[in-house]
Structure 1
Amino acid sequence: MTRILSLLALVAALYVTICVAVWVFQRGLIYFPQPLAINHPDTLLKLPVDDTEVLVSIRPHAGPNALIYFGGNAEDVSLNLAEFAQAFPEHALYLLHYRGYAGSAGSPSEEAIQRDALALFDKVHAAHPRTVVMGRSLGSGVAIRLASQRPASRLVLITPFDSLQAFAVRQFPYLPIKWLLKDKFESSKYAPRIRVPTLLIAAEHDEVIPRASTETLYRHFAPGVATLEVIPGKGHNSISESPAYLPLLRAAL
């Protein structure tokens, strides 16, 4: 009996240790900051938010149209600048570098990134009344929450998920994720509040975000608001290589 109790105590201690490690190091499992590849003064905006400063890769353009883009958790968004400039010639471009990414100060978290997103939208929308909000992967969670709070003209979500919390629960079913997770990115909670035309783009062979997660998010939009398109033959990270990718984005804008 003593050996059994000792074994149970060891297992319990190991379980608690794992939970503590997840609590302490979880943001290191979510965010993978990348260095800045394109570092030209005329393509960078320094955006002060609260007590810090974040970088935004930009392509200025006069007129009412603008596009704000939020990338994935391991993406240097500056690498999209040339392609987006060619694809969306009538839009000013603003691509946010999350805190801790590419020279942006601070450390990434859901609430910090959301404050930055709101500050960026308010600045952009003051000059461009038709502002499209676009997010890819993790950035889809940023984009949909922003569009539920600000008057975006359109919303585009690339490889989106219903909830980071729900995703983590599926990945780690034996851990109390609901109590451990700090950054939950509950996109399904914000979807019913969206009233502007929305496009969801999924990859047929997405090895990161299950199709069921994207479809669950899609079902949370009000009828007639959202459209779901699936790009065939591509995975989570290769979706932008498809010939159908940019035409879908252009059509959404």
Structure 2
Amino acid sequence: MRKQLLGWAALPVLGYAGICAWLFAKQRELIYLPQDTRVDAAQTDFALEREGVRLHGWVVNPAQHEPVIYFGGNAERVENRREQLGRVLPGRSIYLIAYRGYGASDGAPSEAALFADALAVYDEVQSRHPGEAISVIGSSLGSGVASYVASKRPVARLVLVAPFDSLASVAQSHYRIFPVRWIVKDRFESAGYLRGYQGPVMVIRAGRDQVIPAASTGRLISALGRPPEVIELPKADHNTIGTDPGFEQALAQFML
């Protein structure tokens, strides 16, 4: 009877360990959501090959100057930003690139791959606009990519939309009873990357963000080497922040 009771008592522990193992094994499937972003490559007008992987995207106002690179959010179809960004920033060339595994881009996403791809995109844009200042916009997951780029390349102006201090801390807030902070491999430690960045930064945050905890964005703001301009959109949530009336006005003014 005692052995049977001990066996029953061990079941919750084994179940908990099993869920942790499942989270570890499936984490990239849980982090990256490219399924609804796929498009045919023929619909794109920008391509860049890196180590056998072909990245695709779009260029708005290609003949303009002072380019802007846009890194989108998870599950975001970045081509849907073309009209808005072209209208808000008519005097700039705008590059919107789908991450590997997203849109028409080849490959499978990971933090290391997205970071290396982002630097390659930056370098390609720089080669197309020699001597011109490059600004970067990153939204949600893209804020993590943009933060890394700003730590490795000259970024004239940096816009972070619904950003976080680290993906590990965001994941922990959603899976509170599991040690996901220690499980997550793709950590996107934005706060660490931006501590030494001294360029102008604008943080746009949603008052009703249901994905990125306010505390996570607050820790990022506190970690910045230079105090950012912070735009609060109290009525916006994570999915509507880009359509809030204050978003376009703030972006246009910051990019002047």
Q: TM-score range by the shorter chain?
A: over 0.9
- Alignment partner of 2:168 out of 160, 165, 168: 165
| Corresponding position: 1:100 with 2:105 | no
Aligned to 2:246: 244
Q: Distance in 2 between matches of 1:127 and 1:103?
A: 22
SS at match of 2:160: strand
* Residues 144 and 164, structure 2, Cα contact 8 Å, conserved in 1: yes
Q: Distance in 2 between matches of 1:37 and 1:49?
A: 20
* Residues 173 and 213, structure 2, Cα contact 8 Å, conserved in 1: no
Q: Distance in 2 between matches of 1:231 and 1:173?
A: 27
Amino acid at match of 1:16: A
* Residues 67 and 133, structure 2, Cα contact 8 Å, conserved in 1: yes
Q: Distance in 1 between matches of 2:38 and 2:223?
A: 36
Amino acid at match of 1:17: G
Total equivalences in the alignment: 251
Tell me the CA shift for residue 28 of structure 1. Answer: 1.4
SS at match of 1:26: helix
Aligned to 1:179: 182
* Residues 239 and 245, structure 1, Cα contact 8 Å, conserved in 2: yes
Q: Distance in 2 between matches of 1:134 and 1:196?
A: 13
Pairwise CA RMSD: 1.7
Aligned to 1:139: 142
Which residues of structure 1 form unaligned runs of 5+? none
SS at match of 2:186: coil
- Identical aligned residues as a percent: 37
| Corresponding position: 1:211 with 2:221 | no
SS at match of 1:250: helix
Tell me the CA shift for residue 145 of structure 1. Answer: 0.9
* Residues 49 and 115, structure 1, Cα contact 8 Å, conserved in 2: no
Tell me the CA shift for residue 80 of structure 1. Answer: 0.6
- Alignment partner of 2:202 out of 183, 199, 204: 199
Q: Distance in 2 between matches of 1:65 and 1:18?
A: 48
TM-score under structure 2 length normalisation: 0.92
Moved more, 168-177 or 233-242: 168-177
Distance 1:143 1:122, change over 3 A: same
**Residues 79-158 of structure 1: matches in 2 within 5 Å?**
79-128=80-129, 129-158=132-161
Q: Distance in 2 between matches of 1:165 and 1:46?
A: 31
Amino acid at match of 1:194: Y
Q: Distance in 2 between matches of 1:67 and 1:89?
A: 11
Distance 1:210 1:35, change over 3 A: closer
Q: Which runs of 4+ in 1 moved over 6 A?
A: none
* Residues 194 and 223, structure 2, Cα contact 8 Å, conserved in 1: yes
* Residues 37 and 76, structure 1, Cα contact 8 Å, conserved in 2: no
